[in-house]
């Protein structure tokens, strides 16, 4: 989950990373009130989950209430790279001496965390990486050892940060590392990290991506997720505890096991169709789970056919068949189902289903055959 800048800054604050005082506003008068509280001059900042807001005109300095009104009015409702601005962050403006860059991400190939620091901040880091790669100092951090203050000191020196910024920047890096690890981030990026004219180092921007797989140990993330514009289908699936990802095709998919669900997407594509979703109902596949899965897919108006792809391993196909029959009795489906049932006790499973087979419930022997049938029922390639 990506955070807005203001949420990222609040997250940073928990780990002692300095930011400017400020507040959130969703209309012009709120923006003025936040500006009064933060103290003039202020910066009025568009809150959208995309970079380059400055260049797009979404970041403006304001010296007084009139200027806040003017800028807040212009920025609210603005479109930045397809994102409409609904929220502003208004903070006390900083006097910038220098702009730097600092981030932590995971380097999967190295199996380590990667810290990047540059004295060339405030600009697109991808551009720096492309045009002047030597300007970015990199350090791989072993997750077992963590980041020591000495290493951080060396790194900021290597990156060429100004002498007077180094001590505070190194400390800030260690805190950012703690935020990244203990806060379960996939990305914690500060661009620009600034040295103020009075010699302080702090975060002027925040780009934080939380690792959704760690949500179970962060009940406080619920609040952050509330502000995210989610796919309605995904919201419903989450309520029902399903492993669901919405896609844009017309063939709804239910499979038991993530690997099988992925190959089901592939085989639907191979058959010339497009999947409406990814949905892994796991090993159990009992009536409750099956009914919940069908309900979620049923709410998707783009779905024209549902492909249920079950491979019985430890889960026996006769149990799954009973589950499907029961679920069908509970959910009034808009679309026909194509079922492929294979593996342990598959013949018994098909026997159970035999009485229910109709043009609304088609049973196919093979995965590819079932995919072709589902695509056909969904109206072919669209």
* Interface residue list for ligand GDP (CB under 6 A): 43, 45, 51-54, 59, 93-94, 96, 99, 122, 191-192, 204-205
Quote the least distance from Cβ 181 to Mn ion, whole Å: 23
Asked if 191 interacts with Mn ion (CB under 5 A), we say yes
Extract the tokens encoding 200.
């302080």
d(CA 175, CA 18): 10
3-state secondary structure of 272: coil
Separation CA 190–CA 117 (nearest Å): 10
Nearer to Mn ion, 45 or 350 (CB): 45
CA distance 365 to 346: 10
* Structure tokens, 296: 């979620």
Residue 254 interacting partner from Mn ion, ligand GDP, none (CB closer than 5 to 8 Å by kind): none
189 carries an active-site annotation: yes
134's CB contacts (< 8 A; 6+ apart) are: none
Task: Give the DSSP H/E element, type plus range, for residue 321.
Answer: helix 317-330
User: How many residues sit in the footprint of Mn ion (CB under 5 A)?
Assistant: 2
Token pair for 256: 């038991």
- Nearest distance, CB of residue 80 and ligand GDP, angstroms: 9
Min dist CB 48 to ligand GDP, Å, is: 8
Dist CA 374 CA 215 (whole Å): 35
Q: Say which of 4, 101, 177, 180 is annotated catalytic.
A: 101
Contacts of 175 (CB under 8 A, 6+ apart): 15, 16, 17
Nearer of residues 46 and 352 to ligand GDP, judged by Cβ: 46
Choose the one of ligand GDP, Mn ion, none that binds residue 43, judging by a C-beta under 5 to 8 angstroms depending on kind: ligand GDP
CB of 205 to Mn ion, least distance (A): 4
| Residue 85 vs 289, nearer CB to ligand GDP | 85
Which span (88-96, 104-112, 186-194, 234-242) binds Mn ion, by CB under 5 A? 186-194
205 near Mn ion (CB under 5 A): yes
Cβ at position 54, least distance to ligand GDP in Å: 3
CB-nearer residue toward ligand GDP: 26 or 197? 197
Who contacts 94 (Cβ-Cβ below 8 Å, separation ≥6)? 20, 194, 196, 202, 204
- Residue with smaller CB distance to Mn ion, 94 or 191: 191
Which of 341, 244, 346 lies closest to 294 in space, CA to CA? 244
Q: With the C-alpha atoms ordered 337, 338, 344, 349, is the resulting torsion angle positive or negative?
A: positive
Picked from Mn ion, ligand GDP, none, the partner binding residue 336 (CB below 5 to 8 A depending on kind) is: none
Cα 355 versus chain centre, distance: 44
- Which residue of the chain is nearest ligand GDP when measured via CB? 54
Q: What is the DSSP letter of 56?
A: T
Shortest CB 87 distance to Mn ion, Å: 17
Catalytic residue among 189, 295, 319, 364: 189
CB atoms within 10 A of CB 259: 10
Interface segment toward Mn ion; rule CB under 5 A; list 101-109, 185-193, 221-229, 247-255: 185-193
* CB nearer to ligand GDP: pick between 196 and 348: 196
Provide the binding-site residues for Mn ion, judged by CB under 5 A: 191, 205
State the catalytic residues: 101, 189
């Amino acid at each position: 989950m990506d955070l807005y800048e203001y949420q990222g800054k609040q997250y940073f604050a928990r780990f002692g990373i300095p930011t400017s005082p400020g507040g959130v506003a969703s209309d012009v008068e709120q923006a003025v009130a936040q500006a009064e509280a933060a103290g003039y001059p202020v910066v009025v900042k568009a809150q959208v989950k995309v970079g380059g807001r400055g260049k797009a005109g979404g970041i403006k300095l304001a010296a007084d209430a009139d200027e806040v009104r003017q800028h807040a009015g212009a920025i609210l409702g603005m479109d930045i790279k397809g994102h409409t601005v609904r929220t502003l962050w208004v903070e006390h403006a900083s006097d910038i001496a220098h702009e730097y860059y600092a981030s932590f991400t995971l380097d999967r190939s190295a199996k380590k965390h990667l810290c990047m620091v540059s004295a060339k901040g405030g600009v697109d880091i991808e551009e720096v990486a492309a045009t002047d790669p030597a300007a970015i100092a990199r350090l791989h951090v072993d997750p077992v050892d963590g980041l020591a203050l000495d290493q951080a000191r060396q790194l900021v020196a290597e990156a060429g940060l100004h002498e007077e910024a180094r001590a505070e920047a190194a400390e800030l890096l260690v805190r950012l590392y703690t935020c990244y690890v203990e806060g379960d981030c996939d990305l914690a990026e500060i661009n620009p990290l600034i040295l103020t004219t009075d010699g302080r180092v702090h975060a002027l921007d925040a780009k934080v991506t939380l690792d959704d797989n760690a949500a179970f140990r962060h009940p406080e993330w619920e609040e952050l997720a509330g502000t995210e514009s989610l796919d309605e289908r995904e919201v419903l699936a989450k309520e029902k505890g399903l492993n669901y990802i919405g896609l844009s095709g017309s063939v709804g998919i239910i499979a038991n096991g993530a690997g099988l669900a992925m190959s089901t997407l592939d085989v639907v594509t191979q058959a010339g169709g497009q999947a409406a979703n990814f949905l892994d109902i796991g090993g159990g596949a009992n009536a409750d789970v099956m009914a919940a899965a069908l309900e979620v897919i049923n709410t998707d108006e783009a779905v024209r056919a549902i492909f249920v792809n079950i491979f019985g391993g430890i889960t026996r196909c006769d149990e799954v068949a009973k589950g499907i029959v029961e679920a069908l009795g509970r959910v009034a489906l808009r679309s026909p189902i194509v079922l492929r049932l294979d593996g342990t006790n598959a013949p018994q499973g098909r026997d159970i289903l035999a009485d229910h087979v109709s043009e609304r419930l088609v049973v196919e022997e093979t995965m590819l055959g079932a995919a072709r049938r589902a695509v056909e029922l969904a109206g072919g390639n669209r």
